[in-house]
Amino acid sequence: MKQELDVPPDQSSSAENADDVPLSTTVLNDSATAVQTDPPRRISLELPLLRDDPLAPSSHVAPTPRLKIGPAAAAFRRRFFGDVPDRDWNDWRWQLRKRIKDRAGLERIFNLSDEERSAIQKIGGHLPVGITPYYASLMSINNPLEAIRRTMIPIDRELIQGPDEADDPLAEDSHSPVPGLVHRYPDRVLFLVTNFCATYCRYCTRARMVGQTGEYHFNTQQFEKALAYLEAHPEIRDVLLSGGDPLTMADDRLEWLLERLHKIPHIEFVRIGTKVPAVLPQRITPTLVRMLRRHHPLWMSIHFMHPSEVTPEVAEACGRLADAGIPLGSQTVLTTGVNDDVETMKELMHKLLTIRVRPYYLYQCDPISGSAHFRTPVEKGLEIIQGLRGHTTGYAVPTFVIDAPGGGGKIPLVPEYMVGREGDYVILRNYEGQTYRYPDPLPKA
């Protein structure tokens, strides 16, 4: 077994460092003259590279992609990171290294409420705090009830386990035939490839993983066991990479894994579940996108929560992914005080469509320990779907689902549009509440 490398293990290939080169191989220079560039060199791997930590600075100073800096981020940077040049701000590893992770970091920027300050002091081994400077720029400095801030900064109620709550409410651990792999559905699996996230959502279903095993984890031996299981089960045709967040992995790590998966004949396609484009759009570099484009069919589900997340930076990041032919879908968790009204949800769904992200799932918040203050009544989700269906384009209406406790899987819920039957007619109710008779003759005896 070998590694065909001509770069140090703590550096990327020359292609990976060429993040200021656009996705095509023909670019225009400042004088609008066509310049032909060499195609990116691909590293051939039989073993994963040795670099584990995405936060570690490289000894090589790589060019930084030209990503837009939106008005919110620009104002925030001037106030709190005034000496940071564009080059650093647009460097995703810099964003990870400078995450806000403790009380001192939070108090430097936010006016914390007593409840926030108390929770941070008590958090101990629970889900840590981690907020990229970019994502912090979208949060209110003074209002602890602002939507995104509610999802990022803990409060005391997070530390109270309510009735019917559990650390692993979906019983993922009991459906794990080998570590890191969850096989619940007949033809697909969930592959948990890292415990590291760019930011930590306070309602996270897998808070138990980060809290118990630390932030970053890459175990080659564990991966080999999971890959061996996949090879031995030809009924598996679909693999969802999640974690943690797969897009926090280094390009070469992720490519090694994608290459291994695509070598398994019965795996038809791979999906990536991620929040990185929303919280760390700087990560979506041209080099990353070129690499992902080599591994079609590849799909991506992106976690979005609120309209304010759809910024110029996020639009550009999603545009790069969409231009590479990667179908993008959104996943949103219904949460109190964040997105639990029709107008907020409609605005989010509309904005997602403008950046070529198709609304996919709206989740009822899972009953994880300490989540009662986030969960809405199930009827609220049905009310939102009813407020979207017919009132806006069908593409903007996600599927509302509950992930059944104990490992029952996703169960879709829809408002009752079929009122009943009158002989050979079914009675239907439309989005305006009007009823209609639809001919549907019963079978003859």
> Active site residue: 20, 185, 380, 389, which one?
185
Q: What is the pLDDT of residue 59?
A: 47
**Intervals of the chain under pLDDT 70:** 1-65, 211-218
> Active site residue: 19, 202, 204, 275, which one?
204
- Give how far Cα 84 sits from Cα of 87, 294, 298, 431, Å: 8, 34, 35, 51
Q: Where are the alpha helices (DSSP H) in 2-146?
A: 71-80, 86-89, 92-97, 103-109, 114-122, 133-136
Q: What is the pLDDT of residue 127?
A: 87
Q: What is the pLDDT of residue 251?
A: 96
- Please tell me the number of Cα atoms within 13 Å of 97 on its side-chain side: 13
Q: Residues 367-391: pLDDT tens digits? A: 888 899 999 999 999 999 999 999 9
Sketch the domain layout of the chain as residue ranges. Answer: 173-412, 417-445
Q: What is the pLDDT of residue 215?
A: 53
Structure tokens at 112: 């914390």
> Active site residue: 134, 150, 201, 251, which one?
201
Task: State yes or no: is 201 an active-site residue.
Answer: yes
pTM of the model: 0.85
Instruction: Return the ∠ at Cα 201 (arms to 198 and 203), rounded to 5°.
Output: 155
Task: State yes or no: is 98 an active-site residue.
Answer: no
User: Whose structure tokens read 């041209």?
Assistant: 286
Q: What is the pLDDT of residue 170?
A: 83
Q: What is the pLDDT of residue 439?
A: 94
> Active site residue: 51, 93, 206, 283, which one?
206
Quick one: what percent of the chain has pLDDT higher than 70?
83
Task: State yes or no: is 173 an active-site residue.
Answer: no
Task: State yes or no: is 184 an active-site residue.
Answer: yes
> Active site residue: 410, 425, 429, 431, which one?
410
> Active site residue: 52, 245, 340, 366, which one?
366
Task: State yes or no: is 237 an active-site residue.
Answer: no
Task: State yes or no: is 216 an active-site residue.
Answer: no
Q: What is the pLDDT of residue 93?
A: 96
Q: Does domain 173-412 have CATH number 3.10.20.30?
A: no
- Supply the angle between the helices 251-262 and 220-231 in degrees, to the nearest 10: 20
Task: State yes or no: is 356 an active-site residue.
Answer: no
> Active site residue: 51, 99, 197, 340, which one?
197
Task: State yes or no: is 403 an active-site residue.
Answer: yes
Q: What is the pLDDT of residue 11?
A: 35
